[in-house]
C-alpha cells in the first residue's frame, strides 16, 4: 500500500519568514496530493492540493510543488503569520474524490512573533 | 456549514462499554465513507472503508470484531467500538468522499469524536 513520509516533524520560524514542509510517497499510482491544516481537536482543513498533471500550484501565500518522477511534493508558506501555527499533514490518493487518503506523519508549525 | 455530521463529539465511559459513533452526510449521498483514528500528536490512520449495502473493508491490523461498522443507508455510517478499553481512547473521525462533485473537496470530514475510556 501507499506510504507517505513527511519532514520535518516540528518547525519553528520567525513571523514573516517562509516555511517549507516536504513529503515523499511510494505508490506510483497516486495522482492527487492534498495538504491539510489541523488545529487541536478539530477536523483537518484542506488548504491546497495538486494533481499529478501539474508541477506547481499557488494560492496567495501558499504553494505546493510536485516532482512525480522523484515521488515527492512540498508545501511552501511565505510571509508566515501567527495564525499559520498548526499541524500540517500531507496526503496522497489514487483518485480525487473517490479513494482513501494516506496521510503523512504531520508537521507541527510554530510561528514565532 | 458542515456537510458531514458526526456524533457524539465527546464520549467518556468506563472500560468494557460499547460506544457507537454516527456519521451522516447531510446533503449528498455517500455510498462510501472512511473511518480514521488519530492518537494524540499522531497522524490520521485509516481504519476501514464503509460500503453502503455491503461489508466494510478493514485496514491491516484493525480488528473487525472490535470495530463494527454498519452502513445501512446512503447517508449514515456507524462505527461501534465494542468492549472499549483505555487503549481505544483516541480521536475518531469519519469522512465521505465527494466523487469530485463538491467543489474542490475530495472528502468532507466530520468534526470527530473524542473517545476517552477510563
Per residue in B33-58, pLDDT (tens digit) is 999 999 999 999 999 999 998 899 99
Compute the mean pLDDT over every residue in chain B, rounded to the nearest whole number: 92
CA distance A50 to B94: 23
Q: Which three cell numbers stand for residue A5?
A: 513520509
Percent of chain B with pLDDT over 70: 94
- C-alpha span between B57 and B12 (Å, rounded): 27
Residue B93 confidence (pLDDT): 97
- What pLDDT score does B101 carry? 65
Q: Collect all residues with Cβ–Cβ distance below 8 Å to A79 and sequence separation of at least 6.
A: A16, A18, A61
Q: Per-residue pLDDT for A53 more than 90?
A: no
Owner of C-alpha cell 465527546 = B10
What average pLDDT is seen over chain A?
95
User: How far apart are the CA of B16 and the nearest CA of chain A, in angstroms?
Assistant: 25
Task: List A residues 3-32 in contact with B (Cβ-Cβ < 8 A).
Answer: 32
Instruction: State whether residue A43 sits within 8 Å of chain B by CB.
Output: yes
Residues contacting A24, CB < 8 A, separation 6+: A4, A5, A70, A71, A72
Pair type for strands A72-77 and A19-25: antiparallel
Amino acid at each position: 500500500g501507499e506510504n507517505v513520509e513527511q519532514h520535518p516533524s516540528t518547525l519553528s520560524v520567525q513571523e514573516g519568514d517562509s516555511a517549507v514542509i516536504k513529503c515523499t510517497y511510494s505508490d506510483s499510482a497516486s495522482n492527487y496530493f492534498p495538504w491539510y491544516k489541523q488545529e487541536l481537536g478539530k477536523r483537518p482543513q484542506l488548504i491546497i492540493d495538486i494533481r499529478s498533471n501539474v508541477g506547481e500550484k499557488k494560492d496567495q501565500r501558499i504553494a505546493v510543488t510536485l516532482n512525480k518522477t522523484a515521488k515527492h511534493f512540498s508545501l511552501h508558506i511565505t510571509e508566515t503569520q501567527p495564525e499559520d501555527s498548526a499541524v500540517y499533514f500531507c496526503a496522497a490518493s489514487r483518485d480525487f474524490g473517490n479513494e482513501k487518503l494516506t496521510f503523512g506523519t504531520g508537521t507541527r508549525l510554530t510561528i514565532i512573533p | 456549514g458542515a456537510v458531514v455530521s458526526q456524533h457524539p463529539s465527546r464520549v467518556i465511559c468506563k472500560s468494557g462499554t460499547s460506544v457507537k459513533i454516527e456519521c451522516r452526510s447531510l446533503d449528498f449521498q455517500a455510498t462510501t465513507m472512511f473511518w480514521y483514528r488519530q492518537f494524540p500528536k499522531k497522524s490520521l490512520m485509516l481504519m476501514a472503508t464503509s460500503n453502503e449495502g455491503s461489508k466494510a473493508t478493514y485496514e491491516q491490523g484493525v480488528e473487525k470484531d472490535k470495530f463494527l461498522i454498519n452502513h445501512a443507508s446512503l447517508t449514515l455510517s456507524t462505527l461501534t467500538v465494542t468492549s472499549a478499553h483505555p487503549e481505544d481512547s483516541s480521536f475518531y473521525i469519519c469522512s465521505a468522499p465527494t466523487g469530485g462533485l463538491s467543489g474542490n473537496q475530495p472528502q468532507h470530514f466530520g468534526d470527530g469524536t473524542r473517545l476517552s475510556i477510563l
